[in-house]
């Protein structure tokens, strides 16, 4: 039985490539005051998306490098509060793999 190739994406935090299913899709939603980052675990929300490992270390790197603005092609200050809560949640009901399994795939300690 032939295996189908899985699409690969690059994490905006650590810049490593991984299967799209292992990464969390993030979108920017505009409101009156600016844009806020929202997790899209089901990968169904409309608009341009950025991908990152569901790992606080990758999130911190992406924020420090201001990678979300470039990846999402958004100018101005981005509110990352909702995304930070999603990343820091001990258990997610989003269907995303747990952080220990993802970290072991990319060769990082948990």
Q: What is the pairing mode between strands 78-79 and 8-10?
A: unpaired
Residue 103 phi, psi (nearest 5): -65, -35
Fold of 8-88: Hypothetical Cytosolic Protein; Chain: A; (3.30.1230)
Task: Give the per-residue pLDDT at 103.
Answer: 45
Could you tell me the two tokens for 34? 């600016």
Close Cβ partners of 90 (under 8 Å, ≥ 6 residues apart): none
pLDDT digits (tens, 9 = 90+) for 14-47: 999 999 999 999 999 998 788 999 999 999 999 9
Could you tell me the two tokens for 79? 């509110």
**What pTM, to 2 d.p., does this model score?**
0.75
Partners of 29 in beta bridges: 36
- CA gap 10, 16 in Å, rounded: 6
What confidence category does residue 4 fall into, taking pLDDT thresholds of 50, 70 and 90? confident
Task: Give the per-residue pLDDT at 105.
Answer: 43
- CA gap 53, 11 in Å, rounded: 6
pLDDT digits (tens, 9 = 90+) for 49-108: 999 999 999 999 999 999 999 999 998 889 999 999 999 987 544 455 454 544 444 444
């Amino acid at each position: 039985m032939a295996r189908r190739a899985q699409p690969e994406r690059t994490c905006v935090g650590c810049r490593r490539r991984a299967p799209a299913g292992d990464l969390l899709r993030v979108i920017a939603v505009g409101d009156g005051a600016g844009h806020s980052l929202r997790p899209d675990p089901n990968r169904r929300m409309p608009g341009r998306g950025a991908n990152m490992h569901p790992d606080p270390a990758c999130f911190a790197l992406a924020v420090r490098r201001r990678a979300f603005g470039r990846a999402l092609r958004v100018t101005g200050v981005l509110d990352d509060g909702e995304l930070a809560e999603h990343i820091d949640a001990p258990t997610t009901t989003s269907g995303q793999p747990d952080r220990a399994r993802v970290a072991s795939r990319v060769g990082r300690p948990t």
